[in-house]
C-alpha cells in the first residue's frame, strides 16, 4: 500500500489522505476505535467546522448587495478560515494516532503546510487591516455585512445578542481600532458563519455552532461541545457514501 502510495501524483495523494480521514472518522463514529462520546464529539466538531466553512463560502453570491458584502466578507472569512486551518489539520492528524505522525501518511505534510494559508492569502494582520480599510472607506460594505448577519439573527436570539455586541465594537473608537482588529474581525466572521448556518445549514450543526461559538458554551480545544448537542445527527449527515 505505502509503495503504491509513493508513486501517486501529489493531488491524488492528498485525495487519498482525505478519504482515509473520512474512513477514520467512520471508525470513530462506529465506536470501533474508542467507543467514547469524546471521540464522537471530536468527529462531530471537525465536521461542524467543515460545514460552517463550506456554507460560509457558498453564501449569497448573486444578491444585488453582493459587491458591497464581498468587499468586507472576503477578507473577514479569509482571515478566520486560514487562522483555523492549522488547528483543524492538527486535529485530523491526531485522528490517525501515531500513523498520523509518520511522514508517509501524508498528514505531516498537510499539517506543516496549513499555516501557509495565512501567509500567501495575505497574512493575518494584513487581512484585518484590509477589513478596517473597507469599513472606514466604504461604510456601505459594513452595512451590507450586518444586513446579512441580521437575516439569521431574526431567527436565533443567541445570534442576535452576539451580533449586537459585535456591532457596538465596529468600528467603535477608530483611534483604537488597530489593536482591536483581530478581535473584531474574528467576531465578525463568527457572526457571519452563524447567520449562514442558521439559515442554510443543518439544524443540529447550527445549534452546536451557536451554542459554542456564539453563546460561549465550550472549552478551548475541539471536543468540548455542551451536552445536548445532537452528535448522532451531525455525524450521520457526514457519513461517506459508498
Which string of DSSP letters, residue by residue, matches 3-61?
HHHHHS-HHHHHHHHHHHHHHHHHHHHTTSS---HHHHHHHHHHHHHHHHHHHHHTS-T
Residue 118 CB, nearest approach to ligand FAD (Å): 8
* Positions 47 through 66 that interact with ligand FAD (CB under 6 A): none
Q: Judged by CB under 6 A, does residue 123 bind ligand FAD?
A: yes
Residue from 22, 102, 119, 174 touching ligand FAD (CB under 6 A): that is: 119
Residue from 3, 62, 120, 175 touching ligand FAD (CB under 6 A): that is: 120
Q: Smallest Cα–Cα separation from 70: which of 131, 120, 152?
A: 131
Helices (H), 58-156: 66-95, 98-101, 107-113, 117-120, 124-137, 139-153
| Binding region for ligand FAD (CB under 6 A) out of 10-18, 47-55, 112-120, 150-158 | 112-120
What separation in angstroms does the CA of 53 have from each of 14, 62, 151, 216, 230? 19, 18, 18, 19, 19
* Closer of 31 and 133 to ligand FAD (Cβ): 133
Q: Judged by CB under 6 A, does residue 124 bind ligand FAD?
A: yes
| Binding region for ligand FAD (CB under 6 A) out of 6-14, 72-80, 114-122, 134-142 | 114-122
Residues that bind ligand FAD (CB under 6 A): 116, 119-120, 122-126, 129
Amino acid at each position: 500500500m505505502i509503495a503504491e502510495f509513493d508513486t501517486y501524483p501529489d493531488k491524488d495523494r492528498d485525495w487519498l489522505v482525505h478519504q482515509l480521514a473520512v474512513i477514520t472518522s467512520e471508525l470513530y463514529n462506529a465506536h470501533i476505535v474508542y467507543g467514547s462520546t469524546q471521540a464522537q464529539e471530536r468527529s462531530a466538531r471537525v465536521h461542524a467546522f467543515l460545514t460552517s466553512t463550506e456554507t460560509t463560502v457558498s453564501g449569497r453570491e448573486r444578491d444585488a448587495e453582493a459587491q458591497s458584502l464581498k468587499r468586507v466578507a472576503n477578507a473577514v472569512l479569509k482571515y478566520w478560515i486560514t487562522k483555523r486551518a492549522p488547528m483543524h489539520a492538527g486535529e485530523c492528524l491526531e485522528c490517525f494516532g501515531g500513523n498520523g505522525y509518520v511522514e508517509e501518511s501524508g498528514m505531516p505534510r498537510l499539517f506543516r503546510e496549513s499555516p501557509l494559508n495565512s501567509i500567501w492569502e495575505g497574512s493575518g494582520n494584513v487581512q484585518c487591516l484590509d477589513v478596517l480599510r473597507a469599513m472606514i472607506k466604504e461604510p456601505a460594505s459594513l452595512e451590507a455585512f450586518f444586513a446579512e448577519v441580521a437575516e439569521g439573527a431574526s431567527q436565533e436570539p443567541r445570534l442576535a445578542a452576539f451580533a449586537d455586541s459585535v456591532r457596538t465594537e465596529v468600528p467603535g473608537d477608530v483611534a483604537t481600532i488597530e489593536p482591536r482588529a483581530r478581535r473584531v474581525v474574528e467576531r465578525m466572521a463568527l457572526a457571519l458563519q452563524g447567520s449562514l448556518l442558521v439559515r442554510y445549514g443543518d439544524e443540529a450543526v447550527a445549534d452546536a455552532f451557536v451554542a459554542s461559538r456564539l453563546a460561549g458554551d465550550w472549552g478551548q480545544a475541539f471536543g468540548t461541545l455542551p451536552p445536548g448537542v445532537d452528535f448522532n445527527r451531525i455525524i450521520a449527515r457526514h457519513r461517506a457514501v459508498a
